[in-house]
Amino acid sequence: MIKRLTVIGVGLIGGSLALALRRAGEVGHVTGVGRSLANLELAEQRGIIDAYTTNAAEAVTQADMVVIAVSVGASGEIFNTVRSALPASAVITDVGSAKGSVVAAARTALGDRFPRFVAGHPIAGTEHSGAGAAFVDLYVDHKVVLTPEPDTDQDALAQVGAMWTAVGADVISMPVDAHDRALAATSHLPHLLAFNLVDMLAQHEDGESIFDFAAGGFRDFTRIASSSPQMWTEIALANRDAVLASGRDYAERFEALLLALERGDSEALLAIFESARHTRNRNIVQVRKDGE
């Protein structure tokens, strides 16, 4: 059980974790930290947090566990702010969608406290933001990836793993690079494609009336283009090399598909579509709850 939890960034991800820990009876007192009072007041009204402040350093002085759940670009500044206020026994973790840049920032800012930091990423989410979007079941039956470093304390790793297990998640560990390559391909690139496609259509010669003809397929494919533009700009930049590699691979394959179409090569088109359908049916269709 976590006696005193501090959640820095009480939005969809941080807020849902606090709600789920409460339901599991695994947390005593929860302090929320944010920049806007309106979001923190809403979090308190919804029973997500017991108290709040806009001062991150003040909020961690009594904490047993600190969860940083702000956008990846903001986490470096948070590590700097809390470093000297953290109790020696506190465990600190994060939920950022890209891990390499966050781990590097934590190592620099936390110094000799770095072993108490466990980088993490819940593979769960929606396109909605803020405390109003938090919900208690978000992590049930979802994976949470932890990316410990060789000098991460085993005790800190065990505490963070136990926290996620308590909210119903399936915890796995993997190296930072492997995480960032996998998520570039399965999450970050799809977000770029969805944003780009909707933006392309927004500039269509028929104007936005083109969307009158958008049905279920378009809605499914582009749901994630309703996600926070600021958050996804930061994720793309934070995982730039892996996203570029995946994006260039995709651009090459898309060009090959267009060439097959241009030459009327039904065999080539059919081969791509059949392989894609079989792969998706085998790997994705049963996994209905997976998020970002």
Site of interaction with ligand NAP (CB under 6 A): 8-14, 33-36, 39, 69-72, 74, 95-97, 121-122, 125-126, 129-130, 133, 228, 231, 235, 291-292
Closest approach, Cβ 73 to ligand NAP, in A, equals 8
State which residue, 180 or 292, has the beta carbon closest to ligand NAP: 292
Residue 164's nearest CA partner among 95, 61, 104, 100 is 95
Closest approach, Cβ 241 to ligand NAP, in A, equals 17
State which residue, 22 or 191, has the beta carbon closest to ligand NAP: 191
Strand segments (E) across the chain: 2-8, 27-33, 51-53, 65-68, 91-94, 117-118, 120-122, 143-146, 170-173
Residue 43's nearest CA partner among 63, 22, 60, 57 is 22
* CA angle 219–142–279, rounded 5-degree value: 60
* 111 φψ region: left (φ > 0), alpha (ψ -120 to 50), beta (else): left
Write the burial class of residue 240 (CB in 10 Å: 0-12 exposed, 13-18 middle, 19+ buried): middle
Closest approach, Cβ 275 to ligand NAP, in A, equals 28
Closest approach, Cβ 72 to ligand NAP, in A, equals 5
State which residue, 33 or 146, has the beta carbon closest to ligand NAP: 33
State which residue, 14 or 148, has the beta carbon closest to ligand NAP: 14
Closest approach, Cβ 82 to ligand NAP, in A, equals 10
Residue 173 β-bridge partners:
146
State which residue, 74 or 85, has the beta carbon closest to ligand NAP: 74
